[in-house]
Structure 1
Amino acid sequence: MSIRTELAPYLRGYEEKFTSGGEIRWLPHLLYFHPQSHRSEVVNTDSVGFRYATDGDRSYSVADHGSADSVRLLAGSSTVFGIGASSDAWTLASRMNVHDERDQTWLNFGGRSFNSTQELLLFTLYRHLLPKVDEIVLFSGFNNLSLARMPQVRDEDHGTFFQYNMYNEMFPPKNEPKAVSPMRSLLRRKEEAPAPVPPSISEQITYAADLTLRHLDAWKALASTWDAKITYILQPLSGWVRDKGSREEELIFDELERLGGFAAMYGDILSKDVNVEYAAKLEQGAKNIGVNFVNFSPVMAESAPSDEWLFIDRIHLTDNGHDLVARKILEHI
């Protein structure tokens, strides 16, 4: 058993259908989304695939919000979806429902492994299921930055996406045969030219910020149909919040690095200087289009006890982490 699973055994509830190594539900337009009507003690989804958020003694979702006259949306990727939460009740949307004294329920509008293109598409494709939306918080930003280092972004109008290689293996271009075996695929890669050099970190930041702001402008236009308040929050990374994590975090980080983890692939992104530069571009762009912006890593750093276990990996949160972040979001929107 891994250290991470030993410390958080409920993570097994995500493995079969909510990780890149599990079952992927491929969809037109979105590429992939969560399984429909999934039931477990850890994760539950509605008839479309959105995760439920709890509010009092009831659970609500995009496709199952009862007779609510209006709602609030927390949108984003896997951190919003709640990877790392021990149950639906400990996701960000659910914790915001606990701490928000206003009447409207926060719905979980997160899509695991989504970039900003997919986040926007998700909203465009499923907004017809929603009642009036009074407020939207986009809690996002890391995925666009991490994907900006991929060489294929130069060939994509709307950014590349996670599962890119898997998608191309499943649906190869007509002039390329589908790989028949892992060994043949490996031999083919060895014969190919060396991989292109990734863009510089400044180029990655500029690309990710420009793409994010383009889509944020579209979010604002759609939100205006309800006259909904909209806030963009640049999500925290463990390395942007504090130099050294809690005892549990450091044990998990070390184990993940031994398995070929985050720092090996995204080490330069972990720098606090990257957070400052990326946040500055996003803040200026958001200001230009009239959207409130919050760089959450400094906010979290000011209130996070040095010994509290907040991150389940370098991106996702523990139950305590979700609760802390939910309270601080409500203070800054």
Structure 2
Amino acid sequence: MRAYSEEFADSGNINWLPYTMYFHPYGYRSEVVNTDDIGFRYSQSRGRDYSVADHDGIDAVRVIAGSSTVFGIGASGDRHTLASRLSEIDPRGLPWINFGGRSFNSTQEMILFALNRHHLPKVKEIVLFSGFNDLGLARLPKRLRQEHGAFFMCNDFFDAMGARKQSRFSSWFQNARKAAAAADEVPTLEEQIDQAARLVLRNLANWRAMARDVGAELTFVLQPLANWVRKTGTREEEALFTELERKGRFAETYGDILEEDAYRDYRDRLASGAKDLGVPFIDIVPFIRESLPDDFWLFVDRIHFTDRGHDWMANLLLKKLLHEKG
């Protein structure tokens, strides 16, 4: 986790990009994380490394997309990410490409694929493992969320834009921010769920269009949160959660969305919307609850997995994906 915080956190060696705002270091090398020339993390399986921009000799792939959970925060090496474990165990043989973007919301996830799908060979399947970041960001004030939702580090963006006083556009931008600040209230839980669900489903419709265009099967998987899986974690998880609360106050920051009722309401909204779009929807949480041993250390924090957790989750996810396809 120290390796991730040093180079892949907000204060790390991130790249500022048009449209997606920020992305991982290019061509990064370490024992924990390795990225290709455009910042995508490598998958590793059966003696081979491959990524979005580095896959010579592979005619077709499967893609798992999302934010930091897909990227693999918590994995001690590239071989332990969901993409790598899926590649290793999938009997259908095609490798899984890691399309995770750390700290991305659903809009950034969608744009990332739109901007980079030309790098890929034939895509047979896309799994969108997502949903939590939009719900967490929906708690921010309206002036930061605006029409397309808030994003991590959005305060940095708005402050930097406002600081450019010499720009005519920036002058307008500053005035707009001041006017919006008057309504700077934290939304209710119901409003947060509504905002997040609408954004995720809006972007899922775009994913559906792109998946159809490339001839890929698309599935949406609601990513699990530790609080949604079980009230009390293992001894190791609870020790980590206590330390992280002391440092970052996760529970205080995200509030009521950690509760069972919020999870169910959000899940139901997404499931109904995905059905209307004709996109298969998997809520992985009940399946985790059914099969997770009480003493299994799954989470390294409330949203990311341990090495064994990645492997266990990949096996469960693949089982549900294959079941969905009959």
TM-score normalized with structure 2 length = 0.91
Q: Does 1:285 align with 2:276?
A: no
Is the CA contact (8 Å cut-off) linking 2:142 and 2:183 kept in structure 1?
Answer: no
**Does the residue aligned with 2:220 lie in a helix, a strand or coil?**
strand
Paired amino acid for 2:317 = I
Give CA-to-partner distance per residue, 1:140-177, whole Å, 9 cap, x none. Answer: 00000001111136762211100111223333354499
Q: CA deviation at 1:16?
A: 2.0
Report how many aligned residue pairs link the two structures.
308
When residues 48 and 148 of structure 1 are mapped into structure 2, their CA distance, relative to the original with a 3 A threshold, is: same
Q: Which residue of 1 aligns with 2:96?
A: 106
Q: Aligned partners of 1:46 and 1:24: how far apart in 2?
A: 14
Q: Provide closer, same or farther for how the CA distance between residues 176 and 194 of structure 1 changes in structure 2, counting only shifts above 3 A.
A: farther
Q: 1:202-235 deviations in whole A, cap 9, x for unaligned?
A: 1111110111001001101011122211000000
Provide the C-alpha distance between the structure 2 equivalents of 1:145 and 1:81, rounded to a whole number of angstroms. Answer: 19
Counterpart of 2:138 in structure 1 is 148
Match of residue 235 from structure 1: 223
The normalised TM-score by structure 1 is: 0.89
Q: CA deviation at 1:242?
A: 0.5
1:208 aligns with 2:191: no
Question: What is the aligned partner in structure 1 of residue 147 from structure 2?
Answer: 157
Q: From 22, 25, 29, give the equivalent of 1:32.
A: 22
- CA–CA separation in structure 2 for the residues paired with 1:205 and 1:117: 16
- Pair 1:174–1:310, CA change in 2 (3 A): same
Distance 2:142 2:46 in 1: 45
1:250 to 1:195, Cα distance in 2 relative to 1, 3 A:
farther
Question: Which range is displaced more, 244-253 or 16-25?
Answer: 16-25
Identity of aligned residues (%): 54
**What is the rounded CA distance, in whole Å, between the counterparts of 1:195 and 1:299 in structure 2?**
41
Q: How does 1:92-131 map to 2 (within 5 A)?
A: 92-131=82-121
C-alpha change, 1:155 and 1:276, in structure 2 (3 Å) is closer
Tell me, yes or no, if the aligned pair for 1:147 and 1:160 is still in contact at 8 Å: yes
Which residue of 155, 158, 162 corresponds with 1:168? 158
SS at match of 1:220: helix
Report deviation, 1:194.
8.8
| Structure 1 SS opposite 2:248 | coil
Cα deviation digits, residues 91-147 of structure 1 (max 9, x gap): 000011121111211000000000011001100100110111000000000000001
Distance (whole Å) between structure 2 residues aligned to residue 241 and residue 310 of structure 1: 10
Residue number in structure 1 paired with 2:12: 22
Match of 1:299 among 277, 284, 287: 287
Q: Which residue of 2 aligns with 1:269?
A: 257
Alpha carbons 2:33, 2:41 under 8 Å: kept? yes
Deviations for 1:265-294, whole angstroms, at most 9, x for unmatched residues?
112111111111101010010010110001
Report the secondary structure of 1:259's partner residue.
helix
Root-mean-square deviation (CA), in Å? 1.7
The letter of the residue matching 2:231 is D
Corresponding residue for 1:59? 49
Q: Tell me how far apart the structure 2 counterparts of residues 255 and 170 of structure 1 sit (CA, whole Å).
A: 33
Q: CA deviation at 1:326?
A: 0.5
TM-superposed CA distance for 1:300, in Å, is: 1.2
User: Would the alpha carbon gap of residues 195 and 309 (structure 1) be closer, same or farther in structure 2, given more than 3 Å must change?
Assistant: farther
SS in 2 for 1:73: strand
Moved more, 152-161 or 20-29: 152-161
Tell whether the 8 Å contact from 1:153 to 1:159 is kept in structure 2 after alignment.
no
What is the DSSP-based 3-state SS (H/G/I as helix, E as strand, rest coil) of the residue aligned with 2:213?
coil
Once the two structures are overlaid, the 10-residue window that deviates more, 237-246 or 147-156, is 147-156
Distance 1:95 1:279 in 2: 26
CA distance in structure 1 between the aligned counterparts of 2:145 and 2:11, rounded to whole angstroms: 26
**Does the 8 Å CA contact 1:232/1:293 hold for their aligned counterparts?**
yes
Residue type matched to 1:297 in 2?
V
3-state SS of 1:75 partner: strand
Runs of 5+ consecutive residues of structure 1 not aligned to the other structure: 1-10, 178-192
1:320 shift after superposition? 1.2
Gaps of 5+ in 2: 168-180, 322-326
1:83 to 73, 79, 102: 73
Letter in 2 for 1:250: E
